[in-house]
């Protein structure tokens, strides 16, 4: 029996699903962060751990490496747009057939199916995808250093940056900004944190901004909403397209942008990953 593996891996965690040829889900598994550009070894371990858990559910505890080696796999992974990242990962995975795309491609495939539209994937990172007449193109998703505007990580980093500016007297100090400084042990603690923090670490601060009433939180959230709004207006040209908001912050942006034509996602990134598995060579 041919089994299909779909994996959705991002900066926060990794999910795997095993399905049969009819699409019936047989098992699910979970692992740690799976950004193959920033931490390829850790991502590989997360992918294999999630896959093994899903296989054990699907086939029982007797599932072993031979079963894993027979899988047709579709992987939607953060960092897959970095040069050389997918090639290195291919050599390190045991699957019989394999297709690797960015997590944005998997999310867009799952959310839109064959429908024209835009996917705004707003989570730890951010990326947008536009599908017209069956052709899919992704925009953004360049990582926190170069992009990921309005993402959870972007919001967290912006809050810490504003806290330091407030400490220097260049912005009003607010209760939230004071809390962030105190929580990290002062300005030097913020700098120390930032030197080793990953996107997921910054993103943990995002609920304080996206759902907070502090003046600084409202300022940062308004900037983020305006950024998403202008991005979607640009991507919708020349003809308006409906938007599916997905990801942890997706519902909040959907609520903040009621004037944007919206559609519900048809499926998840895991559904999209399973579609990739069916296309794997």
Domain range annotation of the chain: 4-112+268-278, 114-265
Cβ–Cβ < 8 Å for 98, 77: no
Measure CA 212 to chain center: 22
Q: What is the CATH number of domain 4-112+268-278?
A: 3.30.420.40
> Phi first, then psi: what are they for 78, rounded to 5°?
-60, 140
Residue that is written with structure tokens 């839109």 in the block: 112
Residue that is written with structure tokens 């990580």 in the block: 153
> Phi first, then psi: what are they for 124, rounded to 5°?
-55, -45
pLDDT of residue 218: 96
**One fold for both 4-112+268-278 and 114-265?**
yes
- 148 backbone φψ class: left, alpha, beta (φ>0; ψ -120 to 50): left
Any bridge partners for residue 132, and if so which?
Answer: 135
| Full pLDDT tens readout for the chain, 281 residues | 789 999 999 877 899 999 998 889 999 999 998 888 888 899 999 999 999 999 999 888 777 778 888 899 999 998 888 888 888 888 889 998 999 998 888 988 899 987 889 999 998 889 899 988 878 888 888 888 888 999 999 999 999 999 999 999 999 999 999 999 999 999 999 999 999 998 889 999 999 999 889 999 999 999 999 999 999 999 988 778 899 999 899 999 999 999 999 999 999 889 999 988 988 65
Could you give the CA distance from residue 42 to residue 11 in angstroms, rounded to a whole number?
A: 11
Could you give the CA distance from residue 242 to residue 245 in angstroms, rounded to a whole number?
A: 10
pLDDT of residue 281: 59
Query: How many residues does this entry show for the chain?
Result: 281
pLDDT of residue 135: 85
Fold of 114-265: Nucleotidyltransferase; domain 5 (3.30.420)
> pTM (2 decimals)?
0.79
Could you give the CA distance from residue 263 to residue 119 in angstroms, rounded to a whole number?
A: 10
CA angle 122, 127, 128 (to 5 degrees): 100
Structure tokens at 200: 């997921």
E strands in the chain: 4-9, 14-19, 25-31, 72-77, 97-102, 117-122, 126-132, 135-140, 243-246
CB-CB neighbours of 122 under 10 Å: 29
Q: What is the 3-state secondary structure (H, E, C) of 69-118?
A: CCCEEEEEEECCCCCCHHHHHHHHCCCCEEEEEEHHHHHHHHHHCCCCEE
pLDDT of residue 80: 87
Cβ–Cβ < 8 Å for 68, 95: yes
> Phi first, then psi: what are they for 168, rounded to 5°?
-80, -5
Q: What is the dihedral of CA 4, 41, 148, 199, to 10 degrees?
A: 120
Element (H, E) at 200: helix 199-203
Pairing assessment for the beta strands 117-122 and 97-102 based on DSSP bridges:
unpaired
């Amino acid at each position: 029996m041919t089994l299909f593996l779909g994996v959705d891996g991002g900066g926060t965690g990794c999910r795997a699903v095993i399905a049969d040829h009819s699409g019936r889900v047989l098992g699910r598994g979970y692992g740690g962060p799976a950004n193959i550009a920033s931490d390829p070894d850790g991502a590989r371990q997360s992918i294999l751990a999630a896959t093994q858990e899903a296989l054990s559910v699907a086939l029982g505890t007797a599932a072993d490496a031979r079963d894993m080696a027979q899988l047709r796999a579709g992987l939607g992974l953060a960092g897959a747009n970095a040069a050389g990242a997918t090639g290195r990962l291919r050599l390190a995975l045991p699957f019989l057939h394999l297709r690797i795309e960015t997590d944005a491609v998997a999310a867009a495939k799952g959310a839109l199916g064959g429908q024209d539209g835009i996917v705004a994937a707003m989570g730890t990172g951010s990326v947008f995808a536009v599908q017209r007449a069956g052709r899919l193109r992704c925009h953004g998703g360049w990582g926190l250093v170069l992009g990921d505007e309005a993402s959870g990580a972007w919001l967290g980093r912006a809050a810490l940056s504003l806290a330091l500016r407030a400490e220097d007297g260049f912005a009003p100090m607010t209760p939230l900004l004071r809390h962030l400084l105190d929580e990290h042990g002062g300005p030097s603690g913020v700098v120390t944190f930032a030197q080793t923090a990953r996107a997921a670490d910054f993103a943990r601060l995002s609920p304080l901004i996206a759902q907070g009433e502090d003046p600084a939180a409202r300022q940062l959230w308004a900037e983020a909403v305006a950024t998403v709004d202008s991005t979607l207006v640009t991507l919708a040209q020349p003809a308006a397209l409906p938007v599916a908001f997905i990801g942890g912050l997706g519902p909040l942006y959907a609520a903040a942008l009621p004037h944007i034509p919206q559609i519900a996602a048809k499926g998840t990134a895991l559904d999209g990953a399973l579609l990739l598995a069916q296309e794997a060579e």
